[in-house]
Each structure stands twice: as structure tokens, then as C-alpha cells.
């Protein structure tokens, strides 16, 4: 009836610029954690084309994963460790891109008379503590990449992280420096830029960059859920494209990276620049290393199932391949 009475008006409504495009533009809620190699994800909205991205900051990767699984967000920046843990728990997660690797460091209390990378000396010191009936206390934020990097490095050097040391969970990395300063732990596996801040403040000394274990320096992974891929493929593709642009931007312009670290962590440029010495932008998804991480996590009793086969099933290279024009064999498969 309306069309018959007002044909010209009805036609005009159909061609008003912007109405159709506004309805057709997909929206993505993207979550990221607060660390040097995570906070650049805040730049994805300005790099996105073909979708509207809302970037949401969380304190930790655990919080980001929880938001994704509960469907509060659509795309998440987490770690390979979170990814493997999610597969172990049967969560619906699908990896779609890498982002930044590195960012892990093992720091030791200034009172320890050890040289960097002196694993034999550390093993002897732990035995000495055990003989004296006192625990050798080691901290990390359980569930993040630094936790598994440290545990894997310990195991690689003949130290059983489940028996030889006392692991203490300090969820927020911003609390790591205070724990070392108060002498509550002997050693801590932490993340940039907090690691650089702690060292530069003279609170602790560097012991090792824990990258010789099977996970290497792999840290960040961009994941979504299968329902998001089904219902909003254009939004997923736009998110991957934004991450690829971000990685290229971080490689070319460290100044932008320093600024975003300063914005989200309130650390000065000197700390941010130091932190970036231990960060490696990379949008590839490293499948075989991810499977090695799964094996290591099973050996460490961090997960209860063998999820190596699930790693293959839950890595979708289609969007990354389409955006970059590269086959998956050149993207970490």
C-alpha cells in the first residue's frame, strides 16, 4: 500500500547514500591484553577496511580468552599457550593469524649469585635450597606464554618445574616487579615491557631469554570461533587484513609501537624501546611448533589430553592466504 501511495518517496529511500552500506558493514569486537607485543592491536580499527573493528583492552590473555569463549567478543589476541589450553578444554577456538612473537624473559633476584644462562649453577642452587629445607620460589602469570616458556626451559635443563621448584602464580604482570623487590620470589618469568622496566629500575637481573624449548619464541596468536567464521566471514577477513597491515607497520615504524606501549602501560619511551629489542612481528601461524608446544604442555602436565591433531583442525589459513596472496606453506603451515 505504501509503495502505491508514495512511489517516488519509496524509491528515494532506497537510493539514499550510506543506508545500504551502513547495514552491510560487518562489525567485529576484538580483544587484546596489556603487554608490549599485545597493545599494538589497539591500532587495528584505523587499519581496517571492509569492517568496523572495536578494540577492547583486557588485563591478561586469560581474560581475553574468557571473553571470546563467552561470546563477549568475536576475535581475540591470545598466546599459543592459551590456544592449546582452549583445545584441551574443548573450547571452540580457531586460529586465523599470528601477530608478534618474543617478549619473554626470566629475571632473577639480585641476591642470587648466578651469571646469565648459568643453568648448571641454577640447578645446583635449587638443590642447595632443597637440602636446607626451603623452597626455591619461581613466579609467572599462569596461562601466559612466559609461563610455558619458563617451564619448558627448566625442563630442557634438567629442572622439574613440578617438583624441584615452588611455582607461584602472580596473575597481573604489573605486579611482578614488586614481588621481586620484596624478596617474595627468587626468579620470575615475565613479559615485556615489564621485564625491561624491572631490569632498568635495578630491581632484578636478567637470567635468560627462554627460547630454546620447543615453543621457541612463539607468543601471540589471533583466534576467533567457528560461528563467527560462518556468520561473519567478511569481518574475519577484515580483521586478518588489519593484523597483516599492523605487522608490516610495526616492522617499518617502531615509533608508533613505542607510542601505543606508552599509552596503555604508562611506561616511558626508554623502557618501550628496550622492550622492543625482544619483540618480533610475524603474522604467520607456525603449525609444527604449535604441535610441539602441545606435546611439551602435556609432558609438563599443563594439559590433560594430546591435542596435536586438534591443532591442525583448528588453524584456518584461508583468510591469511587470501589477504597476503601467499599459500599456507609460506605462512607457517
Taking the alpha carbons of 104, 110, 112, 114 in that order, is the dihedral positive or negative? positive
**Contact present, 161 and 151 (Cβ < 8 Å):** yes
CA 22 to chain centre: 32
All structural domains of the chain, each given as residue ranges with its CATH number in brackets, are 26-102+218-330 (3.40.190.10), 104-208 (3.40.190.10)
The pLDDT tens digits of the residues spanning 40-81 come to: 999 999 999 999 999 999 988 889 999 999 999 999 999 998
Q: Which pTM does this prediction carry?
A: 0.84
**Contact present, 235 and 306 (Cβ < 8 Å):** no
- Looking at the chain, the whole-number percentage of residues with pLDDT higher than 70 is 93
Average pLDDT over residues 126-149: 92
Residues 51 and 103: their CA atoms lie apart, in Å, by 30
Name every residue whose Cβ is closer than 8 Å to that of residue 74 and which is 6 or more positions away in sequence: 28, 29, 30, 68, 224, 225, 228, 232, 235, 239
Res 6 pLDDT > 70: no
The pLDDT tens digits of the residues spanning 267-284 come to: 889 999 999 999 999 999
pLDDT at 276: 92
pLDDT at 266: 81
Residues 67 and 331: their CA atoms lie apart, in Å, by 27
Residues 237 and 51: their CA atoms lie apart, in Å, by 9
Res 311 pLDDT > 50: yes
Amino acid at each position: 500500500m505504501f509503495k502505491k501511495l508514495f512511489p517516488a518517496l519509496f524509491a528515494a529511500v532506497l537510493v539514499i547514500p550510506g543506508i545500504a552500506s551502513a547495514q552491510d558493514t560487518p562489525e567485529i569486537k576484538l580483544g587484546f591484553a596489556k603487554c608490549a607485543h599485545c597493545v599494538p592491536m589497539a591500532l587495528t580499527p584505523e587499519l581496517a577496511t571492509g569492517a568496523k573493528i572495536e578494540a577492547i583492552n583486557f588485563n591478561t590473555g586469560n581474560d581475553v580468552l574468557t571473553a571470546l569463549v563467552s561470546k563477549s567478543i568475536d576475535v581475540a589476541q591470545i598466546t599459543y599457550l592459551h590456544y592449546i589450553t582452549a583445545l584441551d578444554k574443548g573450547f571452540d577456538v580457531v586460529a586465523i593469524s599470528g601477530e608478534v612473537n618474543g617478549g619473554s624473559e626470566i629475571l632473577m633476584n639480585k641476591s642470587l649469585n648466578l651469571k646469565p644462562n648459568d643453568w648448571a649453577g641454577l640447578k645446583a642452587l635449587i638443590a642447595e635450597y632443597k637440602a636446607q629445607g626451603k623452597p626455591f620460589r619461581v613466579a609467572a602469570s599462569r596461562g601466559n606464554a612466559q609461563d610455558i616458556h619458563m617451564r619448558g626451559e627448566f625442563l630442557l635443563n634438567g629442572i622439574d618445574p613440578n617438583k624441584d621448584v615452588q611455582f607461584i602464580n602472580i596473575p597481573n604482570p604489573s605486579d611482578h616487579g614488586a614481588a621481586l623487590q620484596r624478596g617474595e620470589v627468587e626468579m620470575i618469568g615475565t613479559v615485556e615491557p615489564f621485564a625491561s622496566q624491572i631490569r632498568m629500575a635495578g630491581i632484578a637481573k636478567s637470567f635468560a631469554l627462554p627460547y630454546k624449548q620447543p615453543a621457541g619464541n612463539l607468543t601471540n596468536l589471533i583466534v576467533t570461533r567457528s560461528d563467527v567464521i560462518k556468520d561473519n566471514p567478511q569481518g574475519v577477513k577484515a580483521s586478518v587484513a588489519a593484523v597483516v597491515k599492523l605487522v608490516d607497520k610495526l616492522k617499518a615504524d617502531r615509533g608508533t609501537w613505542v607510542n601505543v606501549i606508552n599509552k596503555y602501560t604508562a611506561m616511558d619511551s626508554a623502557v618501550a624501546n628496550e622492550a622492543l629489542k625482544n619483540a618480533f612481528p610475524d603474522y604467520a601461524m607456525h603449525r609444527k611448533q604449535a604441535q610441539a608446544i602441545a606435546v611439551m604442555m602435556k609432558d609438563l602436565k599443563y594439559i590433560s589430553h594430546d591435542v596435536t591433531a586438534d591443532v591442525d583442525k583448528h588453524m584456518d589459513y584461508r583468510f591469511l592466504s587470501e589477504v597476503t596472496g601467499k599459500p599456507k606453506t609460506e605462512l607457517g603451515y
